Chain A
């Protein structure tokens, strides 16, 4: 915080604030509001001298003259047809193929769109239970990994390219003697990531049979170790657990980010949202997608690092990770769970929670869920299962199944064993089979990279020449999942078939193929391996029908029918489930902190560090991109004297210079920037893993153009793995934080695109209430509360009427139908006054100048009608949005949006067509009083678009179906439109952000969308290419477009189904129904922009007893 403001709030702090600056109403924030772009956004501030610039420009002009200025278009371009055209392929018509996107072993079913054989866009597979049509941001971005120019392209030996045969023969020579017999003496170890793939597991099992002395180790740095061990303790057997959030009335999350992380979180988001979408006029229906306000579920979260789940919570308890176990014990004790260990001491705030929480859990026995987080120790998981058992949730909302992983074992311990063997020279051959990068991710105290050097023969299969490849002599480039056959299991065990869409670009191989090749197995092709496995299993399981039919249908669907892990019918707690509870949590010393290691929300364990989309997409909740930071609370920052050193360079606006701190833990230390995060508990520090990779890739992860990290290295962020030990993989105490004199520029997009406005008369910030919010109780008494615009409450009725989709909607005040075009409706009551009939009800517009200076019916058509066109519109339910950023990456993928890099982001030049605004409510100094809201903001497609009237060249104009069209080839780059846009959704290509030269990236672009160059404004188009395609298909068949036939990229990607899109002209359209809801409101609609995109208010379901208890 700047010195002039310190941590004091503004005289009248806003109810909703995007960042600390806004909360403090600092001068820098005012400056940010006044400027459309940061003051230097339009400057050429790259390290390019003016002379250099002129040279570049000159060359550019010369080239343009050679290529572009000839008036003769003919014969410039070529057409290259097939020699033999594949069947079923219609050139120009995209095809969808079902596949499976793997992450840390678990697969999510996806449908991938292919244009002439090039996979371009990933969407969720509605038939796969882990997806149900939604995807995570990581799934969306996986297609970019395929086209990553830094992928390993050839097998190597000590970094020198060799042929594939040479590499395979080298491994074979280690495994077989001269006569072709397996060598039994060679001490063989196989290391891989977690494996759920049945076909790969079968191949590994065959390998282990052939070489009985071999050992197979799986290692996942951010895996399910605690979950697995906790479940084993609770039920006395290897098991997996999945949840049905649709059936849960009350959910208690013990540091579990089930909406943002871990297997199945996409599915859980959908199920959870189904109980949060409150509707007044839409019946709950067979699909159970909507609820009445009284049936809304309630979510309690006790967590350390503010997560997506915590942001969606009705009650959030910021608590140290180490105190969660004590909290769980207290809950268990109060509930009377038999055999629960004694509760320890709890902080005051947590103590107040216990009684109301327990009462609420007891109220809905059998319909609640207690879920523990991946980073919590097994004891907490066991406690959660015991509580679920006590409450009768097992079998109704919580399901115990057979294990999903091929071999459920402790990954961290297994790696420790392997490293010990390697260090003791007890390993002759090490085969690293992709999906894991232990040289970077292994706990630092194991010294994995050092131990590997003792192994005489080291082989690595991987997609990149990463840190582990650097320690291995032999390397084979791994095929991407879109290049090779395979399979994988979802969170509930359902198998998805991983179908390739393209032949391997660099002739890569999958793990199963490499294992088959080096062991001289019969089938060495991925397709044969997977098919042969399933043919055998089809026979073993005695499935009905013919295999070929089963196989074709399975590949088409992408899902193996009835392959979910079998549920344990009546799970019972094991006797000693409460044993092995963690020791009492040590009290923190005066200058000691709890350190939390969390997988990065977008880079995961660092495997996506060279994916530009995932680097640039702002991390959910923190909104920081391209870096990690030490997240601390306001009080901690004050204690460390960090607050006064925050240097704001002209407003937050994406560039914030913050202090660099030295973070020391168990004698090791790293330097990284520090970030003050509202909602973070005092006394703890959170760092995200996955940053600071030294061998990520030259284009993104180690691109020198992006500047060094806080330690001066050419990497993105700082490597927190350098602090993480095997004993404390998730959190530990005794970390120390010391301020240095350095400063570091962080890219935080949160304050880019500020919509706030200053009242010109008195200089105060106008409360536009961008996020209208309330409780379900409020909703029951007044469902129209969201319609009331704080700045123009008296005109609510008129504003509401001017919002598209509100024709025929009910009157906010009386609940009866009113007609469009009449200001107050037919039921307008003048009778309860005494003079002119206007006294009794003060909602009239008494202004001299009418709200709109246009004729309300002034449309495109001369007769004043809207015309026969369709009226495309969108509605976004803020109660369902979890801020996961999947829509942002989906939009980027669909619309060829460029990655601009950290330095451009810090200048306010990010190019996201849909952004997610994060608002806080409460005060930053009280973490437990902070509430978070997310609001996705695409172009609102205003019917009265302010951008259109200021364009001097008519490059942005209205289409007859209500789209605010942007015509790139007309745009001359004045940026007036962006200046005049109240929503700040327009994006300008200040530089040539697109990569026009990298060949592999060209393959991944969507051919239906123009690739924009420098000097052109762009913005959300409602995915007009999809609309036009849908229109053409429907009109060719001479039929109307079906509701839901045209889906935007953001809508398709959204895991929680928060976005609907459709034709308002279709009376049956879902979007029309959502907009007719009383909680529907238009963002900044009082400006009379008539936005086609509207929002449904964010509703929470707080427990009044807990609210009261916290006040005491």
Chain B
């Protein structure tokens, strides 16, 4: 049987021995990188909206509290997108003739909701609950980033499962005191209003009160300085807020059901 390949191909074959595994490896790394890329995850991708609502203006410049619009974030899995009536509360007085707000006025007058494009897309089989995260000391900023600087809102995290799991395994890296949940400027050890951080009553579970109205043992913490390192603070908060261990929090049915 004649040879199919000439002898000159041999070096190429030797190269292939080296190149093929490298190629496979590179493909794998490439796919993994692609999977995590902002292109694939939608991270930092600005989503067009029917009304060019700016968090930077409303939150960063005007200082409107998150809860003014996202009313159910402490009670429900869903933080709520405000009804048109909430916009109209202010915009019947200010900028009530602006062209930009025409869709809002139309919506209110015709009783037709504004159809927003969803920015944070969690898969259907993942059941995320805002209220428990907020109650356990995960700040808005931890997942949503510096929303006070965003003009059109974008997703600041990958929302990949590994991103969720990282925090469920090591929640202490993200926890902050209850009174700072909605803050966009808080950081461990950073002075608040020019003063060093101290524990306040709001930080304590159930405001440091027993059902009968007396103070719990935690109440003695009030006025004491908060730890200034995230690790130390996080571990303290994990204990204070009864955050369950990583095995429990990474059980499948925690998020999938």
Contacts and interface: CB of A to CB of B under 8 A. Distances in A.
Q: Do the two chains bind?
A: yes
A1021 B76 contact: no
B118 A76 contact: yes
Interface in B11-66: 34-35, 39-42, 45, 47-48
Interface string B130-144: 011001100000000
A855 B206 CA distance: 41
Contacts of B129: 1028, 1032
Contact of A1035 (B47, B121, B132): B132
Interface stretch (A452-460, A517-525, A953-961): A953-961
A72 interface: yes
Given A71-B39, A74-B155, A91-B76, A81 B125 contact: no
A1035 B251 contact: no
28 contacts: A71-B40, A73-B121, A74-B47, A74-B119, A77-B121, A78-B116, A78-B117, A79-B117, A81-B113, A82-B84, A83-B113, A84-B111, A92-B76, A860-B247, A867-B248, A868-B248, A958-B251, A959-B251, A959-B253, A963-B251, A965-B253, A965-B256, A967-B252, A969-B256, A1008-B127, A1025-B257, A1028-B254, A1035-B242
A1027 B129 CA distance: 14
Contacts of A867: 245, 247-248
Contacts of B242: 1035, 1038
A868 B257 contact: no
Contact of A83 (B72, B111, B241): B111
B98 interface: no
A908 B127 CA distance: 31
A80 interface: yes
Interface in B84-142: 84-85, 107-108, 111-119, 121, 123-125, 127, 129, 131-132, 135-136
Contacts of B41: 73
Contacts of A81: 80-84, 113-114, 116
Given A1036-B132, A1037-B206, A92 B84 contact: no
A92 B155 CA distance: 22
Interface of A: 71-85, 90-93, 860-861, 867-869, 957-961, 963, 965, 967-969, 1008-1010, 1021, 1024-1025, 1027-1028, 1032, 1035-1038
Nearest to A955: B252
Contacts of A1032: 129, 131-132
Contacts of B244: 868-869, 960
B84 A83 contact: yes
Contacts of A967: 252, 256
B140 to A, nearest CB: 17
Contacts of B135: 1035-1036
In the A-B complex, the 3 residue pairs with the smallest Cβ-Cβ separation, listed nearest first, are A959-B251, A74-B42, A92-B76
B81 A79 contact: yes
Contacts of B35: 71
A1027 B35 CA distance: 33
B256 A84 contact: no
A71 B247 CA distance: 30
B117 A75 contact: yes
A957 B252 contact: yes
B77 interface: yes
Nearest to B241: A1038
A1027 B254 CA distance: 10
A852 B123 CA distance: 40
Contacts of B227: none
Contact of A78 (B72, B107, B118, B155): B118
A1021 B78 contact: no
A90 B67 CA distance: 13
Contacts of B108: 83
Contacts of A71: 34-35, 39-40
A861 B256 CA distance: 22
Contacts of A965: 251-253, 256
B205 interface: yes
A959 B124 CA distance: 20
A91 B70 CA distance: 11
A1024 B136 contact: no
Contact of B256 (A82, A961, A968): A968
A1009 B127 CA distance: 9
A1081 to B, nearest CB: 27
B202 interface: no
B232 interface: no
Given A92-B72, A1036-B131, A80 B115 contact: yes
Contacts of A72: 39-40, 42
Contact of B78 (A84, A91, A957, A969): A91
Interface in B225-257: 241-242, 244-245, 247-248, 251-254, 256-257
B257 A1010 contact: yes
A860 to B, nearest CB: 6
A773 to B, nearest CB: 34
A73 B42 contact: yes
A1010 B124 contact: yes
B215 interface: no
A89 to B, nearest CB: 9
A963 B112 CA distance: 44
A83 B119 CA distance: 20
Contacts of B48: 75
A848 B131 CA distance: 54
Nearest to B155: A74
A963 B248 CA distance: 11
B113 to A, nearest CB: 5
Nearest to A969: B125
A1036 B72 CA distance: 13
Contact of A1024 (B72, B84, B257): B257
B190 to A, nearest CB: 27
Contact of A1008 (B72, B241, B257): B257
Given A73-B121, A868-B248, A967-B256, A83 B112 contact: yes
